[in-house]
Amino acid sequence: MLGKGVVGGGGGTKAPKPSFVSYVRPEEIHTNEKEVTEKEATLHLLPGEQLLCEASTVLKYVQEDSCQRGVYGRLVCTDFKIAFLGDDESALDNYETQFKNKVIGENDITLHCVDQIYGVFDEKKKTLFGQLKKYPEKLIIHCKDLRVFHFCLRYTKEEEVKRIVSGIIHHTQSPKLLKRLFLFSYAQNNTVKKLEKEKLASTQKEIRNSCSSVLGTVPELFSLRLPAYFVVPTPLPEEDVKRFQGHGIPIWCWSCHNGSALLKMSALPKEQDDGILQIQKSFLDGIYKTIHRPPYEIVKTEDLSSNFLSLQEIQTAYCKFKQLFLIDNSTEFWDTDIKWFSLLESSSWLDIIRRCLKKAIEITESLEAQNMNVLLLEENASDLCCLLSSLVQVMMDPHCRTRTGFQSLVQKEWVMGGHCFLDRCNHLRQNDKEEVPVFLLFLDCVWQLVHQHTPAFEFTETYLTVLSDSLYIPIFSTFFFNSPHQKDTNMGRESLDTQSKPLNLLTVWDWSVQFEPKAQTLLRNPLYAEKPKPDKGPRKGMRFKHQRQLSLPLTQSKSSPKRGFFREETDHLIKNLLGKRISKLINSSDELQDSFREFYDSWHSKPTDYHGLLLPHIEGPEIRVWAQRYLRWIPEAQILGGGRMAVMSRLLEMMEEVQDLQEKINERHPSQAALHAETRHAEASCLLRNSARLSSLFPFALLQRHSSKPVLPTSGWKALEDEEDLAKREDDFVDLGDV
Amino acid sequence: MPEPRSGQLGSLASSLASGCLPGEQILAWAPGLRKGLEPELPGILICTNFRVTFQPCGWQRSQDTPLSSEYDFSLVNIERLEAMSGLARVQLHPGSQLKFIPEEILIHGRDFRLLRIGFEAGGLEPQAFQVTMAIVQARAQSNETQQYGGIALSKAGQGSGFRKPPIPLLETLEDWEMELKKQGAKGWRVSTVNERFDVATSLPRYFWVPSRILDSEVRRTFGHFRQGRGPRLSWHHPGGSDLLRCGGFYNASDPNKEDIRAVESMLQAGHSDVVLVDTMDELPGLADVQLAHLKLRALCLPDSSVAEDKWLSALEGTRWLDYVRACLRKASDVSVLVTSRVRSVVLQERGDRDLNGLLSSLVQLLLAPEARTLFGFQSVVQREWVAAGHPFLTRFGGTGASEEAPVFLLFLDCVWQLLQQFPAEFEFSEFFLLALHDSVRVPDTLTFLRNTPWERGKQSRQFNSYTQVYTPENSQSPDGNCINVQLSVWDWDLRYSNEQILQFHNPGYDPEHCPESWFPRQPNFMVPGPPSSMWLFSRGALTPLHQLCPWRDSPSLLAVPSRWLSRPATSSESLADQEWGLPSHWGACPLPPGLLLPGYLGPQIRLWKRCYLRGRPEVQMGLSALTISGLREELACLQELLRKWTPRVFPQDRCEKRDPNTFFSQSQ
């Protein structure tokens, strides 16, 4: 129990008002202090990481309902993270440490992960920013991964408080220059890891190999947003592409097996000048003429910036939604708990998810059932375009549901597609208004699919959760640039000056940086229904698939009656693009609604093919809260021995047994071996087996397991009991709990 | 019955009669098409005096399962009948007249099922009309006379004359003795004082009382409780605690000193620490449950008008999940009370027939791994609900509108919540719970169709005589063999095929989680003299009591109904709360093995979609569950293969050892 102070053992119950009072008397602190410093863990610094400031004798509260207990330690702030160094963590069980993140410890907060900082002054909670006149006695940090930390500074020396609080505030909240990101100093100093070949190269090659016969590529760097290579329709003249810096040209995203393609296009800049408008109009006319020639004759346009979600909506909804999970104290939690469903609904986050899924189904329907090409149109084609095109691909292409497939999807559509991760995550703290969790929204949409159709995905929800956390770890280059162009210029890739050391960048996809191999098994879905391979010859079914998808029908195969209808639509679109907004676009018409409904219903009434088209349920009861991500730090939400983990461990065990038996059979009857050639990964099971009862929050909230509170408040009982033997028996009984 | 028109239909019609139960008459039938599920299924819609059945073409009612869980709708189960023709849509109440020939009829079940039958054109419209009207009339009649009170099932009569009930029905002394022995409750005995139902008709014939208490005392003391339902043992915790249940104190009675002492020592049950749990406190009343269930049913109708984005608040508005949560929370509290020290915990509810059953069964599920097996769970339901006299008939609206409240369904929902929170801890699956859920209105057995064991016993006698294996009431032959052919709901093969019954098993169940025993069983302490500490558990807090019974000191206390002692405002609240409040209090100290503490936060309580949203077209069968069972089948198949090849070398398989009773043997 060293280093742990039990404060105010008999505090109030679910007290009506939140209490931040600590009952520790200074004397108690001083007696503990020596031991604390001796036992304290050492600070592990990453290559290039520098210690900026620190404070000792900080009390980190263990978040619990009534009594305020805590652990003493040192609070430090580096240029990478805020870390609390409490007592050493040898107390952890073995199996739990195996799942620890190697980069971010449980008491570490990367600077980019900090969401809000509050200070408590005389029991009043205030947001902290800028220069402070007065320093708080308690610091509350809300993290973007929804952890909440409470640090009591009452027993810390004043100058240390000043230094640490202003240090933390400065380094997490003041605007930063891109070059100042920890990413760069890490990359310069990290010599251990060898340079990771990024997947993008292969992605590009893949695209080029498979598409060049049909579509053209523009190998020219001309836009700040676009990647170096992308695919445009062949008939499009090269100079058109360059004319508006990449705006106003359709870019190929993906082709469906029947040949219909998903395209995206960023809107032309809005101009007041009539002359320019005329030029834009004729340019667009030209573009539409091009893409309305065979084989692109029917194109349906989805204007995402005018009649779909706005980024503002997403931002507001998420802000409300996350408040439901950022819990300062249990009292508050229980208060909101009663109204859980209505609070959830009023945040409308789930509704936004539903709308995204619905839109993706609509697009899928156009591609799949109506054989139409779909053009997504958005201001920069880098937010909802990314979201929808990748959602559509997850739903339509089984390859995107594998780990490698999903990874290259994110690389292709988001990283290379120019999603502004830097702005949307507000990594540089330059503009809070730009901070919109679009990528998180995408992950949440994918989670709904994973949850509803588990066997169709090779990855688990843990994979998605861990991926969402990696957004804020500035040692990976993946999510720290606004565009591939920005990355290239800042990494000095094209300028070959050798005076600086080569930057050693890591990608998020290298999971071994964060997790031990054993922990990585949690990212793989043991229930994944792998596609039965037809024969052993071509091992890569993927390439084969792409060829098939890209065989565009060059003949007139599409039904002609619909043609006039969609012609009309593009007229609408052009008007729309030129600023004359027409609120009711074609896709709100009844006909499309009906065909959507029909498509949706007929798909769901058939048995699911996990290797084919996959549609989510979007009815009210079916859209759910991503409990693993949002509830994982809340101790009250812990179910010991329950939750999905319980089934998972059982599953892994069974898989191992199957594998075992198959091996035995193969040994005895080698002829049978061919039949059962497909043995699956079951090496993970031994990990989970030794732990009798895992918490439902596993593998995330290791935190709660430490809290040791007297199970029975024996003092209170003894006072009320008169018989001595009774008291003795009671003590016996308490011990039994530990057996 | 109309003449069949074509040869094909004729052969269908003749097969109808063969599927009938004794006493069942076909009132009308018509060929139809089941809609709403892909693919549409052609077949015949039949209305009999017991049920409405849809028989798909080519489907033969198996002799072994005279009832079908999939295609049967018992008349009482029909909540709403609608007929549609073109755009006209009419709801048909019992006694109403149909003014057009229906193109389609919709039967909404009270169990959330939906049957949509479309009638083909082509000269058969009169039949469609007839069958619809027949359903309307049959419903009216079945509402008037409770005539479905037990169908003598041909199988029972003809088949093996002796049919052992799948679980002990607790109608004989042996069952009770055996059960008591199994629980290891040393200080308890079976009392036969109610053998003739003269202490209380709602009580079972036998029950458990402390060994020291004489039957005469039992008789006297029970009179001081409402409906004669005095304190009885519900479950003995292997750690030594006892869980008791009883009705409210009967305030009007004026017991003498000796009676009070007897009451007290029955409540005390030999423990020095007694906690009275006010069951009704913080739990919904009967009317609340009924209202919530009605609202839930309305919300879950396939054509419910609630917008998708308002669904969650509508769900909250039903309060059903709130009640589920309250039950889980209380059960969790009580199970902590039972485990944390050796004591007697007495559940006290005014009537002792509703929430007491719910709470005590939930507590057993949380505490006892045995109760989480298929066998154990059925035994718990049989003991705490059926034998304990839960008025099933009244609660499911069998005897009129008042006092209808699906408490049992609330219980099943709670169990489902546990199941999905602890997916590896239960031997039974969601499908089993669904089957049980659907069984409450199926008129095949008496289990859920009587209010008390007494009524059930009366009926069972007629029942037996009807099937000509009549045996007198106390039919224990000297060797202890009981020849009782009464069928119970637990005879699942009446309604479910073997494949379906296989689905009752949870493939994710991990029997290794089921420890052989708790910690070393402790001898029962028999403390002479009055209990040294007495508590009232109410509002999540323990309050000290000065006396267990309300009668002793001043007569003025008699006026106070159930909470006879005003609670001190602040005294021990925090203390109790700390001890029993939240699961996180267990902290680093591992939970005692076997104990489950359920989560009852808003986000953790979920809607039982596969039950309540069954009528909706979009709801489909389980996804991952099937995969797990697939995996398990693969496992079984491989083991089988291996065993065949190496008959002697290969030892008894590990998996088989763990799970000897069911899975593999049934699948062959």
Q: How much is the CA Rg of chain A, to the nearest whole Å? A: 29
Structure confidence at residue A264 as a pLDDT band (50, 70, 90): confident
Residue type, A183: L
Contact A650 B544 (CB under 8 A): no
> Could you give phi then psi for residue B128, rounded to 5 degrees?
-60, -40
Q: What is the pLDDT of residue B270?
A: 84
Structure confidence at residue A436 as a pLDDT band (50, 70, 90): very high
| Option in B312, B632, B634 nearest A620 (CB) | B312
Most confident of A91-105, A253-267, A441-455: A441-455
Give the whole-number percent of chain B exceeding pLDDT 90. Answer: 18
pLDDT tens by residue, B623-636: 334 456 666 666 67
Domain ranges of chain B: 17-147, 173-461+488-515+529-544
Residue showing tokens 């609670």: B567
| Option in A647, A654, A708 nearest B632 (CB) | A654
| Option in B316, B634, B645 nearest A341 (CB) | B316
What's the CA gap between B668 and B663, in Å, rounded? 9
Cis omega before residue A295 (within 30°)? yes
Collapsing DSSP to helix, strand or coil, B258 comes out as: helix
Structure confidence at residue A63 as a pLDDT band (50, 70, 90): low
- Beta-carbon contacts of A455 under 8 Å, excluding residues fewer than 6 positions away, are A525, A527, A528, A529, A610, B623, B624, B627
Contact A348 B309 (CB under 8 A): yes
CA-closest candidate to residue A176, choices A418, A439, A437, A480? A480
- Beta-carbon contacts of B41 under 8 Å, excluding residues fewer than 6 positions away, are B33, B34, B56, B57
Q: Is A25 exposed, middle or buried (0-12, 13-18, 19+ CB in 10 A)?
A: exposed
Kindly tell me if the per-residue pLDDT of A77 is higher than 70.
yes
In the beta sheet, which residues pair with residue B74? Answer: B51
Query: CATH: 3.40.50.300, 3.40.50.970, 1.10.8.60, 2.30.29.30. Which one for B17-147?
Result: 2.30.29.30
| Option in B311, B508, B573 nearest A620 (CB) | B311
Q: What is the pLDDT of residue A695?
A: 65
* Number of C-beta neighbours around residue A690 at 10 A: 9
Chain A nearest-CA distance from B579, in A, is 6
| Structure letter (DSSP) for residue A691 | -
Q: Which long-range contacts (CB under 8 A, 24 or more apart) does A488-497 make?
A: A488/A228, A490/A178, A490/A179, A490/A184
Give the whole-number percent of chain A exceeding pLDDT 90. Answer: 15
Mean pLDDT of B342-346: 89
Share in percent of chain A as helix, strand, coil (round to 5): 45, 10, 45
Chain A nearest-CA distance from B178, in A, is 29
In the beta sheet, which residues pair with residue A149? Answer: A141
- pLDDT, chain A, mean: 71
Mean pLDDT of A542-551: 36
Element (H, E) at A22: none
Tokens for B381, please give them: 């339901």
Which of the residues B320, B343, B545, B601 would you substitute to probe the A interface, choosing the one with the greatest number of A C-beta atoms within 10 Å? B601
Residue type, B571: S
Kindly tell me if the per-residue pLDDT of A499 is higher than 60.
no
End-to-end CA distance of chain A: 19
Q: Is B359 exposed, middle or buried (0-12, 13-18, 19+ CB in 10 A)?
A: buried
Kindly tell me if the per-residue pLDDT of A73 is higher than 90.
no
What's the CA gap between B36 and B467, in Å, rounded? 40
Residue type, A223: S
Which of the residues A309, A339, A340, A461 would you substitute to probe the B interface, choosing the one with the greatest number of B C-beta atoms within 10 Å? A340
- Residue numbers of A between 60 and 119 with CB closer than 8 Å to B: 64-66
Q: Where are the beta strands (DSSP E) in B358-487?
A: none
Q: What is the pLDDT of residue B259?
A: 86
Give the whole-number percent of chain A exceeding pLDDT 70. Answer: 65
Structure confidence at residue B483 as a pLDDT band (50, 70, 90): very low
What's the CA gap between A57 and A71, in Å, rounded? 9
β-strands A138-143, A114-121 pairing:
antiparallel
**What is the DSSP secondary-structure string of B590-627?**
PPPTT------SGGG----HHHHTTTSTT----SHHHH
Q: Which residue has the higher pLDDT, B409 or A380?
A: B409
What's the CA gap between A137 and A155, in Å, rounded? 9
CA-closest candidate to residue A526, choices A723, A358, A683? A683
Mean pLDDT of B443-467: 67
Contact B508 A661 (CB under 8 A): no
Task: Identify the closest residue of chain B to A705 by CA–CA distance.
Answer: B588
| CB burial string B140-165: b at 16+ within 10 A, e below | eebeeeeebbbbbbebbeeeeeebeb
What's the CA gap between B521 and B524, in Å, rounded? 9
In the beta sheet, which residues pair with residue B80? Answer: B108
With vertex at residue B102, the alpha carbon angle to CA B99 and CA B103, rounded to the nearest 5 degrees, is 155
Q: What is the pLDDT of residue B518?
A: 47
pLDDT tens by residue, B577-590: 344 333 333 343 45
How many residues make up chain A in this entry?
739
Category of A573 on φ-ψ map: left (φ > 0), alpha (ψ -120 to 50) or beta: alpha
pLDDT tens by residue, B245-297: 999 888 777 778 888 888 888 888 888 888 899 888 888 999 999 999 999 98
pLDDT tens by residue, B506-516: 877 876 554 55
Q: Is A495 exposed, middle or buried (0-12, 13-18, 19+ CB in 10 A)?
A: exposed
pLDDT tens by residue, B67-110: 677 778 888 788 888 888 877 788 888 777 777 888 888 888 88
- Looking at beta carbons, which residues of chain A come within 8 Å of B657? none
- pLDDT, chain B, mean: 74
Q: What is the pLDDT of residue B660?
A: 36
Query: CATH: 2.60.40.10, 3.30.450.20, 2.30.29.30, 2.30.130.10. Which one for A51-174?
Result: 2.30.29.30
Contact A340 B623 (CB under 8 A): no
Most confident of A643-647, B148-152, B377-381: B377-381
Q: Which residue has the higher pLDDT, B192 or B18?
A: B192
Chain B nearest-CA distance from A530, in A, is 12
* pTM score, whole prediction: 0.79
Structure confidence at residue B327 as a pLDDT band (50, 70, 90): very high
Domain ranges of chain A: 51-174, 189-493+502-523, 627-661
Residue type, B162: F
Q: What is the pLDDT of residue A440?
A: 95
Residue type, B362: L
What's the CA gap between B492 and B515, in Å, rounded? 28
Contact B638 A665 (CB under 8 A): yes
CA-closest candidate to residue A279, choices A271, A290, A288? A271
Q: Decide if A304 contacts A384 (C-beta within 8 A).
A: yes
Q: What is the pLDDT of residue B345?
A: 92
> Could you give phi then psi for residue B273, rounded to 5 degrees?
-120, 120
Chain B nearest-CA distance from A462, in A, is 17
Residue type, A230: F
Residue type, B365: L
Kindly tell me if the per-residue pLDDT of B233 is higher than 90.
yes
Kindly tell me if the per-residue pLDDT of A651 is higher than 80.
no
Mean pLDDT of A152-161: 88
Tokens for B54, please give them: 């849809």
Structure confidence at residue A501 as a pLDDT band (50, 70, 90): low
Kindly tell me if the per-residue pLDDT of A201 is higher than 60.
no
- Its ipTM equals 0.77
Tokens for A720, please give them: 């009320």
CA distances for A138 relative to A113, A116, A125, B515, angstroms: 20, 14, 9, 46
What's the CA gap between B253 and B566, in Å, rounded? 21
Collapsing DSSP to helix, strand or coil, B116 comes out as: strand
What's the CA gap between A661 and B229, in Å, rounded? 56
What's the CA gap between B560 and B631, in Å, rounded? 60
Q: Decide if B345 contacts B367 (C-beta within 8 A).
A: no
Q: Judge whether A10 is closer than 8 Å to chain B, CB to CB.
A: yes
